[in-house]
Amino acid sequence: MSKVLKGLLYSNDHEWVKKLNDEEVLVGITDFAAKELGSVVFVDLPEVGDAVEANTEFGAVESVKAASDLVSPVSGEVLEINEDLVGEPEQVNEDAFAAWMIKVKLSNKEELENLLSAEEYEAIL
Amino acid sequence: MKYDKLIFELSSPGRVGYSLPKPQYPKYSISDLQNHLRTTDAVLPEVSELDCVRHYTNISHKNHGVETGFYPLGSCTMKYNPKINEEIAKTFSFPRLHPYQPVSTIQGALRMYHELQDSLAKISGLSEFTLNSYAGAHGELVGLMIMKQYHHFNKDFMRNKVIIPDSAHGTNPASTTVSGMEVIEIESNDQGMVDLDALKAVLSDEIAGMMLTNPNTLGIFEKDIQEITRLVHEAGGLMYYDGANLNAMLGKVRPGDMGFDIMHINLHKTFSTPHGGGGPGSGPVGVKDFLVKFLPNPTIKKLDDYYYISNEADAIGQISGFFGNYLVELRAYSYILNLGKENLMNVGPYSVLNANYIREKLRKNYELPIQDFCMHEVVFDGLKHNPNEIRTLDVAKRLLDYGMHAPTIYFPLLFHQSIMIEPTETESLQTIDHFIETMNQIAEEAKTDPDTLRNAPLTTPISRTDEVFAAKQMIFTYKDYLEYIERGE
Amino acid sequence: MFKYFPHTKQDIELMLKELNISSIDELFAAVPKEVLLDHEYDLPSEMSEMEVRNYLKTLSDKNQELLIFSGLGLYDHYTPSVIDAITSRQEFLTSYTPYQPEVSQGTLQYIFEYQSMIQSLTGLDVSNASMYDGTTAAAEACFMACSISRRNKILISSTMHPSAIQVIKTYLRFKGHEFEMVPAKDGVLDQDALSGMLDKEVAGLIVQNPNFFGLIESYDGLADLLHENKSIFIQHGDISALGVLKTPGENGADIACGDCQSLGMPLSFGGPTIGYLATIKKHVRKMPGRICGYTTDTFGNRAFVLTLQAREQHIRRAKANSNICSNQSLLVLYSTVYLSIMGKQGIKEVNSLSYQNAHYLYDQLLKTKKFFDPFQQPFLKEFTLETTLSHDLIKEALLANGIFGGFSLSGFSDDYENLINFAVTEKRTKAEIDKLLSVLEGLS
């Protein structure tokens, strides 16, 4: 059974969004997605300063037997990436909600309204 | 202790395994090239001839080959590789010919190519083949290039989408991307067959064509094939036949007669050339008459009894250095000559008979998701009575303990526990019965001794491997390996 | 009965009975009647083994084996007898792709050894398990450059082999990438012209060394120039030469590719050969093809597996790096055994002997005053000259003496109208070289 954390926002593509403040969010993949992939061996992240766009790819995660594109739930600019995941991609399996991938400065806050609540996300699993 | 050495570990400075003639012109010195030379020697082994031969003989014992035991690998057609083919590829003049030699000195080589392509055309119901493409996936790419070139030639630049069922081999969508076209995936029905309504829904004037393998990747004949080809043709698209499963059709159906315009053949599957541990294969591409001018350069033409090399203006271009994997082609031609028209007629029927016999004899213990007769391969969806939740992987690994190669597993993707078995026509009833007994015994073990299955194989040179470690550590060379040992992790 | 089909009449009857049908045809009930084959193939009747051998021998006899004095991408090097003995072993010859590592350690281990040798010869970090041939390896290297740089244009050195250029162009054109040719100066890459062509569209440059004319090119400063422009540097070429020449790594290249035919493989009318492809570790996930890696089994034994498979077509499908699904595995073994037997010293000696033989022939040809060197550049075993003699005359005279050499390059390009090619390997004896010389000296 996969975990769904209350208080976060979710996308249909199994990414989570955590609001840090009005402008900034963290993005990662859900526990469900991490379990589906199996042992993650590689996380490919964008560069700081890159623009991301809602519903488009910003990177990829790879396990031994599968690979999946990371699809951004929001639009904006990448402020930070989680460098730890480059050396220790297994963190994604250990705690998917702690293993954030990118920090984004939002360019369109209204996009958050299109995302799912924890309850809504749980319903699609 | 099992043999466990890398060739580098047998090396000693100054030891040699070769002998070359003495210099004939010692006054010339390569050191005159000075700063064009590498500054350090390459790290290559220094071993005696015996050490080298013994090393590779020892590691060969860690491999399972078709001559070791049964090789029921679905989708791969692991049939016997006749010895006469090997002899011919080595003894005659063919290996010592340079393709740029004067045409008068390579008439036999050109003629072999021409006769083989002509034989393949007759077997396929198409007009002409190129043999230049090196492998099945390479053939797919070349075939798709021809498809695209055809539409562009007709100034039909909109047609850039290729319809591919979601049950297709992974190479189909990958080749489409490389050819610069876009994949339109359509869902298959519960037998992996094309859903005609799903097909109709995506047909438009943007469709370049459709790729299909028949029998499909579940080993089932696509019975609506005429309707499918009619619909795609009506919409202006071309039909591409993925020849991966052609073995079942030999002697029974020609792709050209089913309405296909372009196809590739895997000579290393259907025409008995050895797989060589993953290659070299050969992937000839055949087309109907109206597409012949698009075949890649160079082409080999015939005028009366004279054969010559020609580069055609409308061709897609060149896709290989020369004439493909020529010595592989030669082996396939030897096979076709050996079998002749009489025996070629039996390849499909016997391979289909073998597969259905296995299907019938294993259905008691293995879940059979499709009730119709299969073609040359049969797909099961894991164990039927499975109280210990033994996975397909465990069944496959246990088979290795019994001296047989594993079937293809977890493909097709339509089922969660797929086991795909392809026996080929070269296996005898005794071999097949032995395989069936073993599979049924494994089904029994799954109930009574599940841990043995979970830990299998136990008798092979190594046991199950840590694939996560390999992907994370990325140790690809002896240099990486020494550095890893040095780090002492 | 036929020797590859073990089915006796009784076997078939028994099997049909188990299936509860009366004929094999019933298994094909799903095939519509209209498409069922109702006649035999229009092909010859079956032949016995003797007849097959005789027939193919008659075709073989229509060929002529010649003494090889040209190269152009295929080199007539010596083959140690060990190689055929090993590559003929059924465990290697008849096995499939090593997807079941427990029964494929033989294949996986030689792939690992091959990758190690290619790594050292190229001076880069990582090699894949091989590509179809040198030309397709070059095309895939260009795709890699586009994918790494996220740019769209490849610069191709016009001193590359015309076939490689053609294959690269075909691949790029279909995939939707652009290309431009970089001109040559004195038979080698014109670096000045190149610097004027670099812009933000340039994904990478591909060069060949030794180049199509056999000449050794110098790439001083080239890597910096390309990297400042964030473009990828691809060096293509014959692998055997890298036993002595400056490596792609030393030249600062990001990707190395080419053909391994020069590792003692027969000419084989052009195939099969094998392409190598190597890169720096940073780009390994952009590399196409199989890669073998080290790991351990559950008991801690050393083991090898195919790894980083998530790049490949069977997982990534339309988004894979490449559609390639095989490697030239048996020729990986061939290359590995060759490099093991020749070893550290042998690979240098082969190059040194070829160098001496080629330079002797070169000097003697210039002495005849019928041949001229238009380029005046260093070379290894292959060189290109101009001549006052008719190309057809040379071809016919040599052919009459059983020699293939002095190949006219005029068919490749109008620019090469007066050029002819020679290559000499360690296999050519003094007697053979003198024979070639005496034929050419007698022409006017």
C contacts of B406 (beta carbons < 8 Å) = 100
Cβ pair B480, C113 in contact under 8 A: no
Q: Indicate the pairing of strand C403-405 with strand C67-69.
A: parallel
The whole-angstrom distance between B473's CA and the closest CA on chain A is 9
- Closest B-chain CA to A40: B468
Rounded Cα distance between C263 and B450, Å, is 49
Rounded Cα distance between A46 and A83, Å, is 11
Q: Do C399 and B344 touch (CB under 8 A)?
A: no
- Mean pLDDT score across all residues of chain C: 96
Rounded Cα distance between C337 and C340, Å, is 5
What fold does the segment set A9-107 form as a domain?
OB fold (Dihydrolipoamide Acetyltransferase, E2P) (2.40.50)
Q: Do C167 and B320 touch (CB under 8 A)?
A: yes
Query: Which chain B residues in 462-481 lie under 8 Å from chain A, judged by CB atoms?
Result: 467-468, 471-472
Written as six digits, the tokens of B452 are: 């043995």
Cis peptide before B298 (omega within 30 of 0): yes
* Strand residue runs (E) in A38-125: 40-44, 51-52, 57-63, 67-71, 76-81, 102-106
Relative orientation angle of helices B136-153 and C162-175, to the nearest 10 degrees: 70
- Closest A-chain CA to C320: A67
* Strand residue runs (E) in C164-222: 178-182, 184-185, 188-189, 202-208
**Residues C248 and C145 occupy one common structural domain:** yes
Residue of C309, C312, C313, C321 to mutate when probing chain A, most A C-beta within 10 A: C309
Burial of A87 (0-12, 13-18, 19+ CB in 10 A): exposed
Expressed as residue numbers, the domain containing C48 is: 9-59
Lowest-confidence region among A116-125, B323-332, C141-150, C307-316: C307-316
Q: Do C285 and A69 touch (CB under 8 A)?
A: no
Written as six digits, the tokens of C165 are: 């250029």
Rounded Cα distance between C278 and C137, Å, is 10
For chain A, the domains span 9-107
Q: What is the pLDDT of residue B1?
A: 55
pLDDT in tens, A13-61: 999 999 999 999 999 999 999 998 889 999 999 999 999 999 999 998 9
Q: Does residue C2 belong to the interface with chain B, where contact is any CB pair within 8 Å? A: yes
Residue C392, classed as helix, strand or coil, is helix
Q: Do C313 and B76 touch (CB under 8 A)?
A: no
Q: What is the pLDDT of residue B413?
A: 86
Relative orientation angle of helices B326-362 and B83-91, to the nearest 10 degrees: 170
Relative orientation angle of helices B326-362 and C49-61, to the nearest 10 degrees: 160
Nearest CB to B28 within list C103, C250, C355: C355
Q: What is the pLDDT of residue C18?
A: 97
Element (H, E) at C371: strand C371-372
Q: Do C64 and B90 touch (CB under 8 A)?
A: no
- Whether C3 is covered by a domain: the verdict is no
**Residues C160 and C22 occupy one common structural domain:** no
**Residues C177 and C209 occupy one common structural domain:** yes
**Residues C156 and C279 occupy one common structural domain:** yes
pLDDT tier, C318 (very low <50, low <70, confident <90, very high otherwise)? confident
Rounded Cα distance between B141 and B129, Å, is 14
Q: Does residue C6 belong to the interface with chain B, where contact is any CB pair within 8 Å? A: yes
Rounded Cα distance between A68 and A13, Å, is 10
Contact partners, residue B234, CB within 8 Å, separation at least 6: B203
Q: Which amino acid is at C349?
A: E
**Residues C198 and C269 occupy one common structural domain:** yes
Q: Does residue C410 belong to the interface with chain B, where contact is any CB pair within 8 Å? A: no
A contacts of B475 (beta carbons < 8 Å) = none
Cβ pair B276, B86 in contact under 8 A: no
Rounded Cα distance between B332 and B327, Å, is 9
Rounded Cα distance between B474 and A89, Å, is 14
**Residues C263 and C351 occupy one common structural domain:** no
Contact partners, residue B479, CB within 8 Å, separation at least 6: B43, C116, C119, C120
Contact partners, residue C213, CB within 8 Å, separation at least 6: C159, C187, C375, C379, C382, C383, C384, C419, C421
- Closest A-chain CA to B474: A41
Rounded Cα distance between B73 and A70, Å, is 34
Q: What is the pLDDT of residue C385?
A: 98
Rounded Cα distance between C136 and B321, Å, is 8
Relative orientation angle of helices C162-175 and B171-178, to the nearest 10 degrees: 100
**Residues C225 and C300 occupy one common structural domain:** yes
- Whether C100 is covered by a domain: the verdict is yes
Strand partners, B186: B165
Q: Which amino acid is at B279?
A: G
Element (H, E) at C420: strand C419-423
**Residues C193 and C148 occupy one common structural domain:** yes
Contacts for B344-347 with beta carbons within 8 Å, 24 or more apart? B344/B123, B344/B250, B344/B251, B344/C41, B344/C43, B345/B250, B345/B251, B345/C40, B345/C41, B346/B251, B346/B425, B346/C2, B346/C5, B347/B247, B347/B250, B347/B251, B347/B270, B347/B425
B contacts of C45 (beta carbons < 8 Å) = 340-342
Please give chain B's pLDDT, 489 residues, in tens. Answer: 589 999 999 999 999 999 999 999 999 999 999 999 999 999 999 999 999 999 999 999 999 999 999 999 999 999 999 999 999 999 999 999 999 999 999 999 999 999 999 999 999 999 999 999 999 999 999 999 999 999 999 999 999 999 999 989 899 999 999 999 999 999 998 778 999 999 999 999 999 999 999 999 999 999 999 999 999 999 999 999 999 999 999 999 999 999 999 999 999 999 999 999 999 999 999 999 999 999 999 999 999 999 999 999 999 999 999 999 999 999 999 999 999 999 999 999 999 999 999 999 999 999 999 999 999 999 999 999 999 999 999 999 999 999 999 999 998 888 999 999 999 999 999 999 999 999 999 999 999 999 999 999 999 999 999 999 999 999 999 999 999 999 987
Cβ pair B101, C399 in contact under 8 A: no
Q: Is the pLDDT of residue C66 over 60?
A: yes
Rounded Cα distance between B113 and B300, Å, is 8
* Average of per-residue pLDDT across C215-236: 98
- Whether C4 is covered by a domain: the verdict is no
N- to C-terminal Cα separation, chain C? 64
- Whether C373 is covered by a domain: the verdict is yes
Rounded Cα distance between A18 and B329, Å, is 60
Q: What is the pLDDT of residue A70?
A: 92
Q: Do C319 and A69 touch (CB under 8 A)?
A: yes
Written as six digits, the tokens of B141 are: 């790419």
A contacts of C319 (beta carbons < 8 Å) = 67, 69
Cβ pair A90, A37 in contact under 8 A: no
Rounded Cα distance between B180 and B328, Å, is 29
pLDDT in tens, C285-297: 999 999 999 999 9
Rounded Cα distance between C215 and C381, Å, is 9
pTM of the full structure: 0.96
For chain B, the domains span 7-60, 83-339
B445 to A117, B386, B392, C2, C442: CA distances (angstroms): 47, 10, 13, 38, 81
A contacts of B468 (beta carbons < 8 Å) = 39, 41, 64
Cis peptide before C374 (omega within 30 of 0): no
Cβ pair B237, B208 in contact under 8 A: yes
Rounded Cα distance between C37 and B124, Å, is 11
| CA-based nearest residue to C253, from C222, C298, C284, C275 | C222
Out of 3.40.640.10, 2.60.40.10, 3.90.1150.10, 1.10.760.10, which CATH number does the structure's domain B83-339 have?
A: 3.40.640.10
| CA-based nearest residue to B276, from C261, C274, C113 | C274
Written as six digits, the tokens of B409 are: 């597993």
Number of domains in chain C: 3
Residue of B31, B97, B194 to mutate when probing chain C, most C C-beta within 10 A: B97
**Residues C22 and C165 occupy one common structural domain:** no
A 10 A CB-CB count for A84 gives 13
Strand partners, C207: C235
